[in-house]
């Protein structure tokens, strides 16, 4: 059960919370040029749809494991699927910002009005679910203060926000966008490693 809970946390942490503009609540440091970062951030913020295939590894106080990830994002709609040893078969999360459904093989279907509400009601944990929409693209979430370090190319090297530490260990170039392909997250006694094997970004419009 703990393995399943850890899997669900990593899944929920990759949800959409709606498109929003980036705010000025960030403290910037590191060797990267602030103007390069500003341009990079504006360019990446155009992405409001994607398809991701990759792997997730999880370390928790009593359990650890890994699974494969498929994530389809189309503006407000998401379809996230995990499988592999950690998933014990298949886990699927679908919905929109105001209605989320979770299907777990052999356990049933659960619903809530928001990802945060579903995590809290089913797992009993409060997590910054909405932030991962931005973090997965290499952006700080706009609705709280963040401390970021830039790499020499003006991209995120690390990010600290709301008690979480996010390390960006690699980037890939896809369709004119430079996007993270290896991310490590640590916070709340949980460590998550995301390795993206295939990034397909889209700019769908609003």
Tokens of 154: 């003006």
Residues of the chain with pLDDT under 70: 1-24, 62-63, 85-89, 116, 119-129, 206
**How many beta carbons lie within 10 A of that of residue 170, not counting itself?**
10
Q: Kindly report the pTM of this predicted structure.
A: 0.80
Give the SS3 label for residue 69. strand
pLDDT in tens, 4-42: 444 444 444 444 333 333 346 888 887 888 899 999 999
Chain position carrying tokens 């369709």: 175
Structural domains of the chain, count? 1
Q: 117 is written with which tokens?
A: 């509400």
Q: Which of 133, 138, 134 is nearest to 32 (CA)?
A: 138
pLDDT at 12: 45
Residue 117 structural domain = 2-202
Whole-number pLDDT of residue 73: 92
pLDDT score of 85? 60
CATH assignment at residue 62: 2.50.20.10
- Secondary structure of the chain: what % helix, strand, coil (to 5)? 15, 50, 35
């Amino acid at each position: 059960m703990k393995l399943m809970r850890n899997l669900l946390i990593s899944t929920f942490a990759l949800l959409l919370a709606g498109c929003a503009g980036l705010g000025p609540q960030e403290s910037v440091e590191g060797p990267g040029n602030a103007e390069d970062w500003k341009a990079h951030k504006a360019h990446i913020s155009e992405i409001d749809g994607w398809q991701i295939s990759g792997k997730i590894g999880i370390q928790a106080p009593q359990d650890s494991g890994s699974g494969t990830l498929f994530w389809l994002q189309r503006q407000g709609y998401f379809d996230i699927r995990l499988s592999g040893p950690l998933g014990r078969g298949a886990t699927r999360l679908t919905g929109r910002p105001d209605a989320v459904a979770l299907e777990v093989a052999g356990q049933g279907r659960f619903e809530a009005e928001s990802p945060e509400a579903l995590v809290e009601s089913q797992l009993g944990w409060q997590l910054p679910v909405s932030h991962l929409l931005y973090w997965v693209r290499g952006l700080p979430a706009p609705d709280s203060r963040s401390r970021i370090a830039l790499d020499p190319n003006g991209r995120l090297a690390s990010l600290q926000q709301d008690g979480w530490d996010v390390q960006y260990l690699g980037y890939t170039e896809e369709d004119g966008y430079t996007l993270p392909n290896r991310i490590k997250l640590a916070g709340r006694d949980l460590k998550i490693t995301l390795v993206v094997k295939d990034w397909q970004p889209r700019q769908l419009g609003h």
